């Protein structure tokens, strides 16, 4: 499974990119705001650092507006992917952008019915928001399971990008279901490295190593 980082903070991306764990990046207006930079500044820096796809989201809502916005984003760097909202205008924009060779990521997807439309429109990525469904008492991962089944049934090429990820458990569930990509906040990736038994085991081995006589 590919790992994307869901952040616009360059220092965090650099850290995990150096650890060889970053296949791509996703951003949204909230994450750009948090980075304290202009969108273009943040995206250009991230695109230089990360070879894989970098999703960029604007504010347009009409088909024409979305296409123009996506063309501008795509002019910033070769690895830019245009985020498009799940709507009739959005999916029309996806079809036009794909003819122009611009990759798309349909965002704010909350149901398998929406995910089916996204694949039929020919988007590069579909982003179901898992955590936000969990937040309202709906099992978000069910959307991933059904979307995976539908896409497999018809060999759709759209990649399933699991978004709104809140914990390592979400990542493991997404991988178990065979999702193509999981985009996660840096702290979730950080938590994946950790286990208290690993720390306790390392401390014990180190203590025993120090207590052992070693031949020179
Ligand atoms: O980038 C989209 C998505 O991952 C947002 O997650 O935590 O704001 O629901 P969240």
Q: What is the pLDDT of residue 214?
A: 87
Q: Which atom of ligand 1 is nearest to the CA of 135?
A: 9
Beta-ladder partners of 93: none
Predicted confidence (pLDDT) per residue in 55-107, tens digit: 999 999 999 999 999 999 999 999 999 999 999 999 999 999 999 999 999 99
What share of the chain has pLDDT > 70, as a percent?
Answer: 100
Whether 81 contacts 71, CB under 8 Å: no
What distance in Å separates the CA atoms of residue 96 and residue 177, rounded to the nearest whole number? 31
Q: What is the pLDDT of residue 174?
A: 98
- pLDDT confidence tier of residue 215, bands split at 50, 70 and 90: confident
The whole-model pTM stands at 0.96
Distance 51 CA to ligand 1 centre (A): 22
The tally of CA atoms less than 13 A away on the side-chain side of residue 103 is 17
For ligand 1, atom 9, name the residue with the nearest CA.
164
What distance in Å separates the CA atoms of residue 23 and residue 17, rounded to the nearest whole number? 8
**Residue 83 designated active-site:** yes
In the chain, domain spans: 2-213
User: Quick one: fold of 2-213?
Assistant: TIM Barrel (3.20.20)
Whether 9 contacts 33, CB under 8 Å: no
Predicted confidence (pLDDT) per residue in 162-196, tens digit: 999 999 999 999 999 999 999 999 999 999 999 99
Mean pLDDT (the chain, rounded)? 97
Whether 183 contacts 16, CB under 8 Å: no
Q: What is the pLDDT of residue 216?
A: 73
For 107, the enclosing helix (H) or strand (E) is strand 104-109
What share of the chain has pLDDT > 90, as a percent?
Answer: 98
């Amino acid at each position: 499974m590919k790992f994307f980082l869901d952040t616009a903070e360059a220092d965090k991306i650099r850290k995990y990119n150096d650890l060889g764990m970053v296949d791509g990046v996703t951003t949204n207006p909230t994450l750009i705001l948090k980075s304290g930079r202009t969108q273009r500044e943040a995206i250009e820096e991230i695109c230089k650092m990360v070879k894989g796809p970098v999703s960029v989201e604007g504010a347009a809502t009409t088909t024409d507006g979305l296409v123009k916005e996506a063309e501008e984003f795509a002019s910033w760097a070769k690895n830019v992917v245009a985020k498009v909202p799940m709507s009739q205008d959005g999916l029309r924009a996806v079809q036009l952008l794909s003819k122009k060779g611009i990759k798309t990521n349909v965002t704010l997807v909350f149901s398998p019915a929406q995910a089916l439309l996204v694949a039929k429109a020919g988007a590069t990525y579909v982003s179901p928001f898992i955590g936000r469904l969990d937040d309202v008492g709906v099992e978000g991962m069910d959307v991933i399971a059904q979307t995976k089944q539908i896409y497999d049934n018809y060999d759709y090429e759209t990649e399933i990008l699991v978004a709104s990820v809140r914990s390592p458990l979400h990542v493991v569930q997404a991988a178990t279901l065979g999702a193509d990509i999981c985009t996660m906040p840096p702290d979730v990736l950080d938590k994946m490295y950790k286990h208290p038994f690993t720390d306790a085991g390392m401390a014990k081995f180190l203590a025993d190593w120090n207590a052992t006589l070693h031949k020179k």
